Amino acid sequence: MTATTPDGPESSNPTMPLAAAARVAARPLAALDTEARAALLEALAAALEDPHNRAQLAARNAEDLADAEAAQARGDLSQALVARLAIGPSKLAALSDGLRRLAHMPELLGRASLRRALDEGLELERVSCPLGVLGIVFEARPDAVPQITGLAFKSGNAVLLKGGREALRSNRALVAIIHAVLRTQGLDPACVTLLEDRAAFAHLLNCTRHVDLIVARGSGAFVQHVMDNTAIPVMGHAEGLCHLYLHADAAPDQAAAIAEDAKCSYPAACNAIETLLWHPDAELALSAVARRLLARGVGLRVDPATLALLSSLAPVEAGLIEAGLIEAGQIEAICDADDDEEYGDLTLSIRRVPSLDAALAHIAAHGSRHTEAIVCADADAGERFIAAVDAACVFVNASTRFADGYRFGLGAEVGVATGKLHARGPVGVEGLLTYRWLLRGTGQVSADYGPDKRPFLHRDLDLD
């Protein structure tokens, strides 16, 4: 953490009045009762289905898409980014569905997690409450706007949003719909504020007194940049260096299927694997993995033991390797730097390790504590792996790609946290809450209690 950044005069920080307004707007939002909160989420779901709103949004989204496709034609924008920009009827239907599910999830605010009589007439409660004001920065994906807004409504937090600039017109249209919903529900539109450019977001990072949490989604380098430039707590994952370890008895089919999913289903995701480790007895499993990944065009960075195994594969494949793959660069020798590199593309480093313990040591030294997985037939090996790995997510015989709020059934995901404090791994609504200690007395003073004085009762009471 750096020196606390003083908020400074509002005149020099154009975002600060917006953040201050969010702080004020957050109070009535936090105070909604369960029915009113559900009605707010239902109203937003309905607004995304309204034909007039859809027409407005479609027009703005078409403008964003046209610009993006032109940029893609010039080579300035990736196909994947352009695909994420589109927000058509099926995405909107899924968004409305998600908002209605959030509306009907149990109330999370105002719940007592502890209730204790310190003495007769002196009752302590620990009660959940919103964090207050969130700043969330995310990629050029306009569906994130209603998703994040839904999480903010459910958790009672006001939010300042900064999306990718390629989606600006779509995001503006979505926030206009959200503001209209807030007004019809008697709430302040300042509950949801769109920050339109990077400068506004940079100023938000200085609004220390008005913002309680920054959630940063994007590349590891970007998240680290955010963390380096604010005294506000940041939730995000600056790194996702995940391993898959094939134990001695790993079933080849399972290993191949899991490795393919973990590497190829979305290589840029933080929960994709970067390194595969294999036990000397797992030759068949490793061979099956290598065949599958080479066929999918994955580039392999391999240690000598792995190269030797690959070269001993069935003649036609060995011929392939010797004749083409090494020359073509699809198989390369691994170097030490590979152990710490998050490729984010169809590249995988592979090392043979002498034992499960050696795999654990490699993961402890190089893992980013995001998600680590083992493939094994022996349940004991799986439990040893689970016991020893210090990571947000530890998986046995399942793809690392399951590390995701939607797949975990958290309703929706704010992001994935690789820090250990507060929330860890995929973060849903609960990660946007904190608690307060409430004490209701009848005039008690602390000096009356203690050794040789009045004892505390400390009698736990039933929760609701």
Scan residues 379-418 and list those touching its own copies (CB under 8 A).
382, 386-388, 390-399, 401-404, 407-409
Query: Does residue 268 bind its own copies (CB under 8 A)?
Result: no
Among 51, 440, 462, 464, binds its own copies (CB under 8 A): 440
Considering the rule CB under 8 A, would residue 254 count as an interface residue with its own copies?
Answer: yes
* Part in contact with its own copies (CB under 8 A); list of ranges 57-65, 188-196, 339-347, 435-443: 435-443
- 63 exposed, middle or buried (CB, 10 Å; 0-12, 13-18, 19+)? middle
420 forms part of the interface with its own copies (CB under 8 A): yes
Burial class (CB in 10 A: 0-12, 13-18, 19+), 28: middle
Closer residue to its own copies in complex, CB, 78/265: 265
Q: Which is nearer to its own copies, 71 or 209 (CB)?
A: 209
Q: Would you say how long the chain is, in residues?
A: 464
Nearer to its own copies, 110 or 311 (CB): 110
**Alpha helices per DSSP H over 134-234:** 144-155, 168-184, 198-204, 220-228
- Contacts of its own copies in 74-113 (CB under 8 A): 94
Q: At what angle do helices 34-47 and 168-184 cross, to 10 degrees?
A: 140
**Does 424 participate in binding its own copies (rule CB under 8 A)?**
yes
Binding mask 147-186 for its own copies (x = CB under 8 A): ----------------------------------------
Enclosing H/E stretch for 257? helix 252-264
Residue list 303-322, contact with its own copies (CB under 8 A): none
Of the residues 6, 14, 31, 355, which one makes contact with its own copies according to CB under 8 A = 31
Task: Round to whole Å and give the CA distance between 51 and 106.
Answer: 30
* Torsion over CA: 462, 103, 33, 142 (sign): positive
Question: DSSP state, 229?
Answer: T
User: Which residues in the 205-224 window bind its own copies by CB under 8 A?
Assistant: 212-213, 224
Nearer residue to its own copies within complex by CB, 228 or 322: 228
Exposed / middle / buried, residue 458 (Cβ in 10 Å: 0-12, 13-18, 19+): exposed
Judged by CB under 8 A, the residue of 74, 329, 437, 464 near its own copies is 437
DSSP 8-state assignment for residue 142 = T
Pairing of strands 133-137, 158-162: parallel
What distances in angstroms separate CA 148 from CA 138, 142, 183, 344, 411, one per listed residue? 10, 10, 18, 25, 12
CB 210 within 8 A of CB 22: yes
CA 169/CA 161 separation, integer angstroms: 14
Partner residues linked to 235 by β-bridges: 215
By beta-carbon proximity to its own copies, the closer residue of 166 and 212 is 212
Minimum CB separation from its own copies for residue 395, in Å?
4
CB of 285 to its own copies, least distance (A): 12
Contact between 337 and its own copies by CB under 8 A: the answer reads no
By CB under 8 A, residue 192 contacts its own copies: no
Site string for its own copies, 222-241 (x = CB under 8 A): --x--xx-xx-xx-------
Select 231 or 305, whichever has its Cβ closest to its own copies: 231
Q: Is 4 in the site for its own copies (CB under 8 A)?
A: yes
Beta bridge partner(s), residue 128: 435
| Least gap, CB of 320 to its own copies (angstroms) | 25
